[in-house]
Chain A
């Protein structure tokens, strides 16, 4: 199974800060990497597919990059509505696996 390791597990930043979350795979996932936003009481949301493809309706302050085994999600200017837990996921091989999550809070 491909192991996905996210860092940090949590972070606290100020509104307007640039935030970066890293996801490392135990093997090359060939850009089959997605990012999701989870908020309690709301439906989970796909933000980015295939490493860097921003889904329609997702604010442009979100971006994804990476290759091989290392991928990043960046929020260029953190907003209050971005408070959530973010997960990466590889879809190269079954079982599809997720990172452990990064909880983002406002300082």
Chain B
């Protein structure tokens, strides 16, 4: 079955870190990248970054740079999102999504497969 399965909900204190996993199955892992998107309560969707499952190339949203690291393990077909120095406004649902990037044209495709989401709560 073609799917992305994310790790479970997390609670962290301000200043801590969180690492969310996204396990891919049912498709050729290295043929697609994985993007991370978050949605804070009552807010819209925010693209955080992307990683190529083929060569580990990454692209990050400027506001996330310095706090966010996305990594990928092709042997376990798992992608990780590591967010540091957490603040209360990082409380959100975090989604991984499959996304092909055309290195030739420089364009991303749409996100055609999503994980179920992981709630990260940051609270003292």
* Residues in chain B near residue A94, CB distance under 8 A: 59, 61, 108
Given contacts A44-B95, A96-B35, contact A49 B110 (CB under 8 A): yes
Complex Cα spacing A94 to B62, Å: 9
Q: Are B110 and A91 in contact (CB under 8 A)?
A: yes
A100 within 8 A of partner (CB): yes
A14 to B: closest C-beta gap in Å? 27
* Residues in chain A near residue B114, CB distance under 8 A: 43-46
A interface majority secondary structure: loop
Question: Pick the contact of A49 from B59, B109, B116 — CB < 8 Å?
Answer: B109
* Residues in chain B near residue A71, CB distance under 8 A: none
| Size class of the B contact interface (CB-based, 8 Å) | 20 to 34
Cβ proximity bits A44-81 to B, threshold 8 Å, 1 near / 0 not: 11100110000100000000000000000000000000
Cβ proximity bits A19-59 to B, threshold 8 Å, 1 near / 0 not: 00000000000001010100000011110011000010000
Q: Are A91 and B107 in contact (CB under 8 A)?
A: yes
Which stretch, B9-17, B40-48, B73-81, touches the partner chain A? B40-48
